[in-house]
Amino acid sequence: MAEPTPTNTLDDAAEEALSPAFVRSVVDAVDRADKTLVRQLVLPLRTADLAELLELLRPDERQDLVEMLGTDFNPEVLSELDESVRDHVIELLDPKDLAAALTEMDSDDAVYLLEDMDEAEQRLILDQLPASERAALEQSLDYPEYSAGRLMQRELVAVPPHWDVGQTLDYLREAEELPHEFYEIFVVDPAYKPVGTVPLSRVTRSKRPVLISEIMETEQTLIPVEMDQEEVALQFTKYDLISAAVVDEGGRLVGVVTVDDIVEVISEEAAEDIRLLAGLGEESISDSVLQTSRSRVPWLMVNLVTATLAAAVIALFDATIEKMVALAVLMPIVASMGGNAGTQTMTVTVRALATRDLVHFNARRTIAREFFVGVLNGMIFALILGGLSALLFGNEWLGAVFAGAIMINLVVASLTGILIPLGLDKLGADPAVSSAVFVTTMTDVVGFFSFLGLAALILFY
């Protein structure tokens, strides 16, 4: 694991910029306190590469590196860092430098940095800003977390519909307070309500006298400022948007969300679903042992309770097991097949809810489908497992009990796999958070109960 080999797939991504050899040489230079070499290696890096490097370093090395870079440290790196690393680097910087950097950023990036700081840190930085910018940032921070208002930038290009392309181009050349980059121009009425959108490429492809109203798209996706970012991402994905106008309750244009922020949101939300399905908190690879343990113990504790519930079901039948130890051998198979089948259905359901492929209109049909899938797969595995166990233990009644329990558990698995996430969604809870524990508890309990119960009833009654 120590020496990188050329055939290795781990580092395919970072081929040029951050090869293991490069990282190693930076670390060596930092450890030797060779400031000149460190700066020579690190200063030409692109922002995202410097962020990646900082995440790879140990905290003490990271501190040394930031100090060696001094005022040449580019604060734009901050918005690319993992939360725990970002907190660390922010501590290392002078609030004055940080405030100066914020004024240079588009407002969405500035908000992104500020929102994760605690109250005192935020104050410290905001107090260094000019009043107008401070007010604007404070207003953005007033929007709910994970809302479009936090995601949007205030810098945008808006023109009236009666302008022509020539006027618009002249305005773009002269105006001061424009975003760093933009891809669409918003067309607004005198009340600043959006009436259309023009892709910038269409502006450049039209002759100067053409009116904006002639080339604008009137079919637009307006994002309410309070909309949850997951919902915003769904709109972008569905309509293939590059940017979208954000409007307040009065329908007035207040900002713009761009697709680069949405790419971030989509990655984060998918990662969150994956984490939640596996019972993980917000953890990243750069967390410490204690942080990691603390994030994982709660879920293991929940699992302890549910596993104990399943054990209690087994304890009900200890007399039955005593009569035939083969039951203890086979029972985990019933539970495990049910758990897997339930997880399959649950995963499909949670994803389909997240992407809105599962809606009211097709809910009933989908539940019916899952039921029949459970029956079909139940029959397949009941036949296989019942037959095999009857042969192996020379006891066809044991085979029948095993087959019956598998059948019951796979149908229950299918139904709970879809009904539990649907129910949680209906209650307004995130189905990714808690579905897994309900589903596997259900399949464990039903698996043990049906198998041992059938055995007690049929084999020993």
**Footprint of a copy of itself on residues 73-92 (CB under 8 A)?**
82
Q: Is 198 exposed, middle or buried (0-12, 13-18, 19+ CB in 10 A)?
A: buried
Can you read off the two tokens belonging to residue 314? Answer: 């087994």
- The residue from 92, 304, 391, 458 that contacts a copy of itself (CB under 8 A) is 304
- The residue from 343, 416, 435, 450 that contacts a copy of itself (CB under 8 A) is 343
Give the range of 6-14, 33-41, 114-122, 132-140 binding a copy of itself by CB under 8 A: 6-14
Restricted to residues 428-447, the positions that interact with a copy of itself (CB under 8 A) are 428, 444
Report, in Å, the least distance between residue 261 CB and a copy of itself: 9
Residue 257: closest CA among 86, 83, 109, 102: 109
For a copy of itself, the closer CB: 69 or 242: 242
Compute the distance between CA of residue 237 and CA of residue 228 in angstroms, rounded to an integer: 15
List all residues 6 or more positions away from 400 whose beta carbon is below 8 Å from its beta carbon.
Answer: 386, 390, 458
Restricted to residues 205-244, the positions that interact with a copy of itself (CB under 8 A) are 205-207, 219, 231, 234, 236-242
Note whether 273 and 250 are within 8 A (CB): no
* 167 contributes a contact to a copy of itself by CB under 8 A: no
- The residue from 114, 216, 321, 411 that contacts a copy of itself (CB under 8 A) is 321
- The residue from 204, 209, 249, 394 that contacts a copy of itself (CB under 8 A) is 204
Question: How many chain residues interact with a copy of itself (CB under 8 A)?
Answer: 135
For a copy of itself, the closer CB: 254 or 341: 341
Restricted to residues 347-406, the positions that interact with a copy of itself (CB under 8 A) are 347-348, 351-353, 355-364, 366-367, 369, 372-373, 376-377, 380-381, 384-385
Compute the distance between CA of residue 183 and CA of residue 214 in angstroms, rounded to an integer: 18
For a copy of itself, the closer CB: 47 or 122: 47
Can you read off the two tokens belonging to residue 296? Answer: 């994982």
Can you read off the two tokens belonging to residue 332? Answer: 């985990």
| CA torsion through residues 265, 267, 271, 273, sign | positive
Report, in Å, the least distance between residue 4 CB and a copy of itself: 5
**Phi/psi-derived region of residue 51, left when phi > 0, alpha when psi is between -120 and 50, beta in every other case:** alpha
Can you read off the two tokens belonging to residue 223? Answer: 């994002």
Note whether 264 and 236 are within 8 A (CB): no
For a copy of itself, the closer CB: 359 or 391: 359
Compute the distance between CA of residue 113 and CA of residue 107 in angstroms, rounded to an integer: 10
Restricted to residues 122-151, the positions that interact with a copy of itself (CB under 8 A) are none
Residue 430: closest CA among 247, 258, 272: 272
* 164 contributes a contact to a copy of itself by CB under 8 A: no
Strand partners, 255: 246
Amino acid at 33: A
For a copy of itself, the closer CB: 65 or 129: 65
* 32 contributes a contact to a copy of itself by CB under 8 A: no
Compute the distance between CA of residue 284 and CA of residue 267 in angstroms, rounded to an integer: 14
Compute the distance between CA of residue 255 and CA of residue 266 in angstroms, rounded to an integer: 20
Restricted to residues 243-302, the positions that interact with a copy of itself (CB under 8 A) are 259-260, 262-264, 266-267, 270-271, 273-275, 277-280, 283-286, 288-290, 292-293, 296-297, 299-300
Report, in Å, the least distance between residue 236 CB and a copy of itself: 7
Compute the distance between CA of residue 83 and CA of residue 79 in angstroms, rounded to an integer: 9
Report, in Å, the least distance between residue 438 CB and a copy of itself: 14
Note whether 372 and 415 are within 8 A (CB): no
For a copy of itself, the closer CB: 74 or 139: 74
For a copy of itself, the closer CB: 118 or 207: 207
For a copy of itself, the closer CB: 157 or 254: 157
- The residue from 39, 134, 193, 202 that contacts a copy of itself (CB under 8 A) is 202
* 460 contributes a contact to a copy of itself by CB under 8 A: no
Restricted to residues 41-60, the positions that interact with a copy of itself (CB under 8 A) are 46, 48, 52, 55-56
Note whether 146 and 229 are within 8 A (CB): yes
350-355-359-361 Cα dihedral, nearest 10 degrees: -130
- The residue from 123, 298, 308, 460 that contacts a copy of itself (CB under 8 A) is 308
CB-side neighbour CA atoms (13 Å) of 316: 15
For a copy of itself, the closer CB: 30 or 321: 321
Whole-angstrom CA distances from 267 to 9, 235, 347 are 22, 15, 18
For a copy of itself, the closer CB: 33 or 392: 392
